[in-house]
Amino acid sequence: MDYKAAFRTAVEQVRSEGRYRVFADLKRHRGAFPRATWTRDDGSSKDIIVWCSNDYLGQGQNPVVLDAMHAAIDANGSGSGGTRNISGTTHHHVELERELADLHGKDAALLFTSGYVANEATLSILYKVLPGLIVFSDELNHASMIAGIRNGGGARHIFRHNDLEHLESLLIDAPADAPKLIAFESVYSMDGDIADLAGTVALAKKYNAITYLDEVHAVGLYGQRGAGVAERDGVMNDIDIIEGTLGKAFGVMGGYIAGDIEMVDAIRSFASGFIFTTSLPPALTAGAAASVRWLKQHPEVRDIHQERAETLKQMFRDAGLPVMPSVSHIVPVMVGDPVHCKMVSDMLLEDHGIYVQPINYPTVPRGTERLRFTPTPFHTDEMMRDLVRAMEKLWAHCNIARLGGVAA
Ligand SMILES: *Cc1c(COP(=O)(O)O)cnc(C)c1O
């Protein structure tokens, strides 16, 4: 076996489809978000505006968060030193879990090292905790939920995206006495659409199922205290398991679930991805707790955030650019071809100092490649005008290329 050749061949396949991933090497500057400096492969650099960060509110630069992290390092040192069970639980972990349980109006919360791990670890172990479990999963659920459901190895049914009629038809067909779980997201982050939470909860009650809601792209951003769409829609008490991240709107890192004490205690006791890994460093948990606490008290930041997203969508629409019909803070613009998508992204960065990563398969279905903009409260009208001007120019350029048959 020529191992090197096998690795190269695998990557060549990706490259030939135009979806080889190139990471942008960025230097960020404290307090200057969303500005950063991009370093090219040859070592030269360029100042750019970041338009695709999931630090949706710039909390990663909030002095309240940074001060809490500095103080925790000074007080505790760096790493946690162990798994949660073996010396890796600091007071900061305990406080953060309380803060998160309070945020979601639940008995308890449980921390994981990331949102990915929270989904994978929880969903996979639920099959063991609830023998005979049948999971009903939205077809556009995140890779981490799919991984958890697959690794759990039990029965699963995929329902068409946000299609409650299809979901109900699958629930009707399942044995009435089998334990059932509906797994879905609130904000779907690539299209920017939002699930019908009340409708899903009603179906769960009708068929005696429990609900598992990924609010990763909503925590910090929706609801009076930033608990997510379930808070905004008044159904927080009806969601059995809420899963979130500390790495996006909260600006730090980590993941969690929140729910009844019995459920959380079971996951704590059985989930491999919780038990057998070093816990988050105290500085991260202290920073996350400060961020959650601060955002509970600052709903006005959420209003500004929504206004910024609406403004950018309107500016794209006015310019005739194909902005997708998002009802959230996500502003996706359809390109529909991976090569084209990468080319537009490269030109925005090199020629205009605008950084937006191309979104390609398998993150989105083939043929729906897009640019995904995430304006924050720190993106000004002037930055938006520069962006729209650059996009108009490139769209004209690319249309000419397409008419000439180059990119078709
Ligand atoms: C990013 C993401 C996750 C994973 O969260 P991390 O904290 O980044 O690991 C889970 N679910 C969805 C929908 C996501 O987009």
DSSP for 152-179 reads H-SEEEEEPTT-HHHHHHHHHHS-TTS-
pTM reported for the whole predicted model: 0.96
Query: For ligand 1, what atom is nearest to the CA of residue 54?
Result: 1
Burial class (CB within 10 angstroms; exposed 0-12, middle 13-18, buried 19+) of 325: exposed
State residue 162's pLDDT score: 98
Query: For ligand 1, what atom is nearest to the CA of residue 188?
Result: 13
Contacts of 15 (CB under 8 A, 6+ apart): none
Low-confidence ranges of the chain (pLDDT < 50): 400-408
Output the CA 42–ligand 1 centroid distance in Å.
Answer: 32
CB 289 within 8 A of CB 99: yes
CB of 223 closer than 6 angstroms to any ligand 1 atom: no
Among 53, 59, 112, 144, which is best to mutate for testing ligand 1, by the most ligand atoms less than 8 A from CB?
144
State residue 17's pLDDT score: 87
State residue 65's pLDDT score: 98
Output the CA 216–ligand 1 centroid distance in Å.
Answer: 6
d(CA 238, CA 129) in angstroms, rounded, equals 21
Q: Which parts of 292-336 are beta strand (E)?
A: 331-334
Nearest CA-CA partner of 169 in 145, 203, 140, 141: 203
CB of 185 closer than 6 angstroms to any ligand 1 atom: yes
d(CA 350, CA 354) in angstroms, rounded, equals 8
CA dihedral of 184, 185, 186, 190, whole degrees rounded to 10: -140
d(CA 142, CA 129) in angstroms, rounded, equals 22
d(CA 111, CA 246) in angstroms, rounded, equals 10
Q: Note if 4 is an active site residue.
A: no
Q: The sheet that has 331-334: what strands, in order across it? A: 331-334, 370-373, 358-359
Output the CA 115–ligand 1 centroid distance in Å.
Answer: 5
Burial class (CB within 10 angstroms; exposed 0-12, middle 13-18, buried 19+) of 60: buried
CB of 116 closer than 6 angstroms to any ligand 1 atom: yes
Helix (H) / strand (E) containing 35: strand 35-39
